[in-house]
Structure 1
């Protein structure tokens, strides 16, 4: 088999719900051509469909239980505190490491969960988990200097995304999206020409970010649609898709002959729900969680922590914020790691970490796992899980009477592997249509209904109007790939083994994904059946995140700006 070279283009959060109608009108000509000349599929993401586990599964071919990344945060062992995940959290060999070991050249640009950068046979420029451009986010280390000399300023991601309180700020944000992705495309073209690789991967972020903040302008069916703002911003999402489509066209012009092209997204997108669920209050109502008594009248400590938090969310520089965080580390940690209304751990059996409520999961306060764990492993744990599932399914929309939570997953249903103990105990399907949004506990709401419909306008930079969906996109084109085909099923874990196969490499036996042979001509797959091999070193060792306090503040600021942190 003559190995193919591949270009993989990532469009974070891209959805066929938008692409297919626009492509059919030829408004996205390059994506339309790739779809027409290749095979496409609605690509099932990880559960939950979040950037860190999804991209990690994309480049490892494994489920989160094997690679160890379940979301943007992970709980610190033996505590209730958390830390941000990054590439150092991924406990499985990456696609580019496997290829580097086989002496294949790789070029990786802006893939999430790649900081600190790995040593590869080629180059790697880390993605959104890199603190900023001053960090050591490239391999080789001097590559950033080379890149700046060639194309000018290169920016990892947009800064101060959470400041969009007016039209001027929104206009500047949209302009920044355009400029950053245009420069990203220029960087990709320069690198592809100067450092030719067998596998090149480049990810564009703006598709996801613009959807989070501008969906309610585009979508008349959004529960908080803004018809006035739609006159100015109704095309904001399309304009970003169009710009990325143009970048794709530019990249295709630089490709060597016989290079295959994949377009991938880590998850899909859709409207947020305006049905708020105060989940920790519900756990309190059903007798599984207790707030600290002193929280009924906010303690001096909590009031001070809130003031620190307000300053940390302000327009102070990252350096100033980091300095402030160092002065009040315990206040910030307490505010983030616990709920807005502090919990009485000694009488709490189940809880949600409210510092990160975009992707809510329920943790059991298990003995042996948490410092003040109260639930015994075994029968007590199993009985509690069953009770919780029953109670969660009983939540009904006060307006429609429909079940609020469509599916509650036990972690054993969706994960397997050596890192299962790091997964939350229950995952709630917040990504469904007409679902719910988890709200932070408020002391004054204790005893009030736990479900509340929000009819107020979206506040720019604070409220998200676009959420994630379970299915992203996959487009494959060139070589033996069938033309005009749509697959009935494909998962994000299938991408890595499919790439290895087309590059003439064996697939590690411990991959969870499969080769998408149905996307290829039968004669090709008959002549070249997939080969598998044992890879005894496919499991990595957890490394330190490498984040300083200042780095942590930069990551926190970025995630708050996107809307993932409360």
Structure 2
């Protein structure tokens, strides 16, 4: 077979990896592949997006743009003209992905397990979707016939591991680690198979994922998977990029932000005293978390697919008095929406009082102090236009609080109360897409926000820009009731639901 001499780019993602986790493992020689890779290349911190969460961060990487252009601000977003929340997927993204741009320019791409790639898009090559895929019953591959081909070749496939089972099913950490490793092995084998089947590939990308108490053990295993991939596919014509989307750290404190807003007079409940229904719901949820009732709980969610979603929404927002609520928090990080008259269904903030109300919310977030440390909970608090720009800013939270500490914003109160080392400027996730295009000597769409990381490249050259690719997202990404239940289960297990 004729040797391939054209330039290639191989991207290996480690979801949630941070030097805080990796450096101790490197020092113990538990990541020899990554250690060798660093010795022969360059390492750096990589700045994530705001908020640093998988669905947003991998979209920032894939599009080379910030949130105000690709339009995603959390795993779920507010439905139009409603306070209800809906789960997002690739059909909600408003910008073209790197593999779509490369495909349009004749480059062959193989993409496996990148979060938020379902529903799958047509590319020149092969794609297997990742996080936010409903399940194996869905069309999770492009081309569609690849699904059965992979299942025949591998015998089985795992898109994601439901780590909630480790808490509610009596599963040990060793058993959880074994399942995560099995998932990673199957995904690595799928990637190898597709690279071999598409031998003339130009761009290949695989994202590895691991979580929680088994993350160190799993990273060591993933290092072995990467060793296999580098040995087989990384020759002198291949640029290899190993990157993460965001970091991981311990979450030891819950912040009941909407209760705090109620104390500050920013949010109001229909009933300020004891609520028998809320107490009953909390007691019921606690009983459902009993391992002995796990099977019954899962059966109930199977029979009534929207039960858990409705339960979560009812606990979080069902008792709010929207006519007196000026602002409320959504998600687990620090996204706050104002309740504006004419924009929200029962908005009470007059448009001419918008800025004054927003200033009050910002002041409240900045005044929120950890009673143990006497330090602010939120490191930074922004107005949306201070950090985002683009056509999708209108859907962004009005106020964004950033936390760099062990705090988890909880929407629901379940307690019962209401190479050679180089000195470089820190790169950003959005810089990778234009840099990869530069590696192919391809013009960079002029609406990308990222820059070319010439300081990392052996051959520096002036970037060439071209008009942005016309992009209209026509994908049908509506989840069925059953799919909604599966997505809810996975996100709850990963801690993305408050």
The answer, yes or no, to whether TM exceeds 0.5 is: yes
Partner residue, 2:146: 143
Of residues 468, 477, 497, the one that matches 1:535 is: 468
- Offset of residue 178 of structure 1: 1.3
- 1:80 and 2:52 aligned: no
Q: Decide whether aligned partners of structure 1 residues 413 and 315 sit closer, same or farther in structure 2, where only a CA change above 3 A counts.
A: farther
C-alpha distance in 2, partners of 1:171/1:65? Answer: 41
Of residues 312, 320, 324, the one that matches 1:343 is: 320
Cα pair 1:500 1:506 within 8 Å, conserved: yes
Q: Decide whether aligned partners of structure 1 residues 534 and 263 sit closer, same or farther in structure 2, where only a CA change above 3 A counts.
A: same
C-alpha distance in 1, partners of 2:343/2:6? Answer: 47
C-alpha distance in 2, partners of 1:555/1:252? Answer: 33
Task: After TM superposition, list the pairs within 5 Å mapping 1:90-101 onto structure 2.
Answer: 90-101=93-104
Partner residue, 1:419: 392
Cα pair 2:329 2:411 within 8 Å, conserved: no
Give deviations 1:84-125, integer Å, cap 9, x for gaps.
111111110110110111111000000001000000000000
C-alpha distance in 2, partners of 1:554/1:309? Answer: 20
Partner residue, 1:352: 329
TM-score for the superposition, normalised by structure 2: 0.91
Any unmatched runs of 5+ in structure 2?
A: none
Q: Decide whether aligned partners of structure 1 residues 434 and 155 sit closer, same or farther in structure 2, where only a CA change above 3 A counts.
A: closer
Partner residue, 1:387: 360
Greater mean alpha carbon deviation, residues 307-316 or residues 12-21 = 307-316
Give deviations 1:178-213, integer Å, cap 9, x for gaps.
11112222221121112131000001111xx2xxx3
- Offset of residue 24 of structure 1: 3.9
Q: Give secondary structure in 1 for the equivalent of 2:249.
A: strand
Of residues 404, 417, 430, the one that matches 1:445 is: 417
C-alpha distance in 1, partners of 2:47/2:247? Answer: 9
Partner residue, 1:505: 442
Cα pair 2:234 2:240 within 8 Å, conserved: no
- 1:132 and 2:135 aligned: yes
C-alpha distance in 2, partners of 1:510/1:160? Answer: 38
Of residues 251, 255, 259, the one that matches 1:281 is: 259
Partner residue, 1:34: 37
- 1:324 and 2:304 aligned: yes
Task: After TM superposition, list the pairs within 5 Å mapping 1:264-275 onto structure 2.
Answer: 264-274=243-253
- Offset of residue 294 of structure 1: 8.0
Cα pair 1:362 1:427 within 8 Å, conserved: yes
Task: After TM superposition, list the pairs within 5 Å mapping 1:171-210 onto structure 2.
Answer: 171-196=174-199, 197-206=201-210, 209=211
C-alpha distance in 2, partners of 1:338/1:534? Answer: 47
- Offset of residue 304 of structure 1: 6.6
- Offset of residue 335 of structure 1: 4.4
C-alpha distance in 2, partners of 1:174/1:14? Answer: 16
- Offset of residue 437 of structure 1: 4.4
- 1:433 and 2:388 aligned: no
Of residues 332, 353, 372, the one that matches 1:399 is: 372
Of residues 525, 542, 546, the one that matches 2:478 is: 546
Cα pair 1:318 1:554 within 8 Å, conserved: no
- Offset of residue 534 of structure 1: 0.5
Give deviations 1:426-473, integer Å, cap 9, x for gaps.
12222x135564463479635xxxxxxxxxxxxxxxxxxxxxxxxxxx
Any unmatched runs of 5+ in structure 1?
A: 215-235, 447-481
Tell me the matched-pair count.
Answer: 489
Q: Decide whether aligned partners of structure 1 residues 17 and 241 sit closer, same or farther in structure 2, where only a CA change above 3 A counts.
A: same
C-alpha distance in 2, partners of 1:543/1:101? Answer: 17
Partner residue, 1:61: 64
- Offset of residue 256 of structure 1: 5.4
